[in-house]
Structure 1
Amino acid sequence: MKKFLFLIILSISFFYNTFAQQQTYKPVSFPQGYTSQIDIIYTQVNGWNGRMDLYTNPKATTPTPIVINIHGGGWNHGEKESQSGFGSFFKNGYAVANVEYRLVDVAPAPAAIEDVRCALIYLYKHHKELNIDTRKIVIMGGSSGGHLALMAGLLGNDKRFDSHCPFDGNIKVAAIIDKYGVSNLVPLGNWKSAKNWLGVHYNNKDFIKSVSPVFYVSETSPPTFIVHGDADPTVPYSQSEELYKKLKEFHVKTEFLTIPNGKHGKFTTEENELLSEKMWSFLKDLGL
C-alpha cells in the first residue's frame, strides 16, 4: 500500500512539474489586413525543423519592409512565442518574421548562426509571395539574439555559414538592432553559456573569432543601432562599447543608447519609450 501511494505521489509530482514548466504565451496581435503563418518551416537539418512565424500584409500596394526578430536565452533556452512586442513595427507598415533556432542541446555553435542565416535567405527566396521588400530588411535581437542578429547582418554576402541554405543572390540587410548583445566571444570563452555553446571549440581562438560579430565589421556593414544598460550583470556593457568603437572606426552609421544603471533588459516603461523613440528615429533616418 505504501509503495502504491508513493507511486501515485511520484506520478502527480511528475505531471505537475511537467505542466508547470510549459509556459504559455499570448498570441501576437496584428492589424486588420495582415495574415499570420505560424510555424513555417524555413530549414530542415538532421531531422530538426527550423520554424518561424510570419505576419505579412499581402494586400499592401507596395512590398513592405520586414523585421526579423531573434529571441535571446544564452543560446540554451528561450522560444519565439515569448516575443510579441511588434506593435510599433506593425504601426509603421512592417511585416514580421519571428524566428526560432537550434539551441545548444540540439547543436552547438555555429548551428544557431546557420539557422538565422537560413531564415534570412528564406525571406529572400519567398519575397514576392510574401510581398516584402528585400531592400528593407531589419534584423533585431536581444542578448544572445542580439549576437545572432549581428552575425546574420554583418556576414552580409559572406556565405560561410550558409551550406544548409545555398543562395546565389546578394544578401544585405538594411539595418541591425542590437539589444545588449554579445559582440566578442573571445574574452567570454569561459562564461558558462558561451562555453557550452562553443562546445569543443571553446579554447579555439580562431573559431571563437569566426562566431564573433565584431570581427566582421567593415566599411560596408549595415547601419547598426545598439542599446545596453551600463549595469548589465549578464552581458558586459563593454561588449557594446567595443562594437560601437569598431563601427565608428569603419565609418558605419551607428547609434549607441546607454541606459544608465540599466540591467540586462527589463528596462522601465520610460526607458523602453526612449528606446523606441531613438530606434525609430534611427530607422526613419535610413528611410526605413
Structure 2
Amino acid sequence: MSLNPITVLYKEVNGSKISTDIYLPATASSEKKLFPVIINIHGGAFMLGHSRMVSMPQITDCLERGWIVLVPNHRLCPGVNLLEGPMRDIRDLLAWVHDGHLDAVLQEQGPYGADLDNIAAFGTSSGGHLAMSLGWNTPKPPKAILSLYGAVHFTHPFWRKQLPHVQAKLPPNLDSSFLNKIYNEVPVPTDSSVSLEGQSESGGSKGPDFSRSRDAFAFTQIASGNVLSAIYPDSETKDPTFNSVDPLQNVTSEFPPIYIVHGQADTMVPIDLSRELFAKLKKEGVKCGMTEVPDEEHTFANMMKVGSRTWWLQREGFDFLEGIVGKGPQ
C-alpha cells in the first residue's frame, strides 16, 4: 500500500489537461489479480479544489480493503458549466476505465488488474453529487455509490438562500471586475488553491485566500445563494427543473445501490436535502442506506479523527460499498 499515487492524464479538452491520481493497495501476490476500483471525487462547490484535497484516512481505509483508488481532477466551473464540465469529465473517467486505459497503466505497476465488474464511486459535497451523477446517462454505471453530504435537490429553496455565516468571512466591497476575472481563465483550470473543505494547495487547512479571484468568486456565490446560477446558467432559462444535473430528478428503480452519509448540523447542504433523496430512493425500490452523523457540519471528512465516533459512523458507507463490490484479493 502506498500513499504516493501514480498521476496520469485521462483527458485533454480545449487545452485543459485533466489527470487522475491512482493509489494501489498492498499485495503479496506475484500473479496478476483483479482489484475493485473506487473513484473518489473531491469537493469544492464545483468551483474549487483538486485531487490532493481529499481525506487521506478515507483513502487508507479503501486501500486496506484491497481497492484501487482513483482520485480525479475535473474542470472547474464557471468557465465551463456543471453538465459539460465536471459531470462530463467524471463520466469520461469512468469510460476511460472501462475502455482499458487504467489496465494499461497498471501493467507497469506489477500484478494489478482492474475488476471492471466491481467499480464504485464516492465523494464529498460537490464530489458526492458527481459520484451520484454516474448513476444515470452512463453506459455502465458504477456498481455502488456513496455520497457524503452531496449536493442534491436543486429545486429546493435553500439553493437560492443567502448564507450570512459565509458572508461574514468575505472582505467588504469585493469588486465585480476582480471576481469576474475567473471567466477569463484559459484553459479552464482543473485545480484551485483551496477547497471548500478548507485544505490549501500546500497542505493543512489555511482556508481561502481572497486575494485570488477564484476563492473570492466561489465564496461570494455561496454566500449570496447564487451557486447554481454560476455553475449551471441553463437553470435560469433552458433547464429550470435541473432535470439534466440533479440526482433527485434522475432516481429510478434502475439507479445503482447508494449510501448517504450526512452531518445533522450541516449548514452548507442541509441534511433534509439528503433525507428527501433517501425517501425517493426507497420509494423507487433502490438498495440504499443512510447514516446521520450527530453534531457534524458540512466538511467533517477533512477534520474527523480516525477512531472517533464520526469516523466509525461515516465508515458505514464504505462497509456498504464493500458489501457490494467485495474486498480485493489478499
TM class, shorter-length: 0.7 to 0.9
Shift of residue 176, structure 1, vs aligned partner? 0.5
**Structure 1 length normalisation: TM-score?**
0.77
Instruction: Check the 8 A contact 1:186/1:209 in 2, yes or no.
Output: no
Q: Does the 8 Å CA contact 2:20/2:73 hold for their aligned counterparts? A: yes
- SS of the aligned residue for 1:208 comes to coil
d(CA) in 1 for partners of 2:228, 2:19 = 24
Name the structure 1 match of 2:41.
70
1:41 aligns with 2:9: yes
Q: In the alignment, which of 256, 262, 269 is matched to residue 290 of structure 2? A: 256
Amino acid at match of 1:82: M
Q: 4+ runs of 1 displaced by more than 6 Å?
A: none
Say which of 146, 160, 175 aligns to 1:177. 146
Matches within 5 A, 1:107-186: 107-110=80-83, 111-126=85-100, 127-129=102-104, 130=106, 131-152=113-134, 154-155=135-136, 158-159=137-138, 170-186=139-155
Paired position in structure 1 for 2:247: 213
List gaps (5 residues or longer) in structure 2.
107-112, 161-224
Pairwise CA distance, 1:223: 1.0
For residue 106 of structure 1, report the CA deviation from its aligned partner.
Answer: 3.0
Correspondence for 1:225: 259
Contact 1:75 / 1:193 at 8 angstroms: preserved in 2? no
Counterpart amino acid of residue 113 in structure 1: M
What's the offset of the Cα at 1:260?
Answer: 1.8
Task: State the shift of 1:102 in Å.
Answer: 0.9
Residue 36 of structure 1: how far off its partner (Å): 3.8
Identity %: 26
* Distance in 2 between residues matched to 1:82 and 1:174, nearest whole Å: 25
What is the Cα deviation at residue 101 of structure 1? 0.6
Letter in 1 for 2:75: R
Distance 1:274 1:207, change over 3 A: same
1:78 Cα shift?
A: 0.7
| CA RMSD in angstroms, aligned pairs only | 2.2
Distance across 2 between alignment mates of 1:281 and 1:112: 27
Distance in 1 separating the partners of 2:243 and 2:69 = 30
Q: Is the 8 A contact 1:189 1:203 kept in 2?
A: no
Counterparts of 1:185 and 1:45 in 2: how far apart (Å)? 28
Give the direction of change, closer, same or farther, for the CA distance of 1:260–1:189 in structure 2 (3 Å limit): closer
Taking the aligned partners of 1:286 and 1:221, their CA distance within structure 2 comes to: 14
Q: Distance in 1 between matches of 2:124 and 2:325?
A: 23
For the structure 1 residues 285 and 202, does the alpha-carbon distance in structure 2 shift closer, same or farther, using more than 3 Å as the test? same
Once the two structures are TM-superposed, the CA of residue 192 in structure 1 deviates from its matched residue by 2.3
Q: Tell me, yes or no, if structure 1 residue 283 matches structure 2 residue 265.
A: no
Name the counterpart of 1:242.
276
Offset at 1:230? 1.6
What SS class does the counterpart of residue 33 from structure 2 fall into? coil
- Between stretches 205-214 and 220-229, larger displacement belongs to 205-214
Q: 1:203 to 1:229 in 2, by over 3 A?
A: farther
The aligned amino acid for 1:95 is: I
* Cα distance, 1:236–1:202 mapped onto 2, change above 3 Å: farther
Measured in 1, the distance between the counterparts of 2:264 and 2:238 equals: 29
Whether the 8 Å CA contact 2:142–2:256 is kept in 1: the answer is yes
Once the two structures are TM-superposed, the CA of residue 210 in structure 1 deviates from its matched residue by 1.1
Offset at residue 203 of structure 1 (A): 4.7
Cα distance, 1:273 vs structure 2: 2.3
What is the one-letter code of the residue matched to 1:147?
A: H
Which of 1 and 2 has greater Rg? 1
Q: Post-superposition shift, 1:287?
A: 4.7
The aligned amino acid for 1:146 is G
* 8 Å CA contact retained: 2:143, 2:325: no
The SS at the match of 1:73 is: coil
Unpaired segments ≥5 residues, structure 1: 1-28, 160-169
Is the 8 Å Cα contact of residues 223 and 253 (structure 1) preserved in structure 2?
Answer: yes
User: Aligned equivalents of 1:217 and 1:234: distance in 2?
Assistant: 23
Equivalence for 1:88 = 61
Opposite residue 124 of structure 1, the aligned amino acid is: H
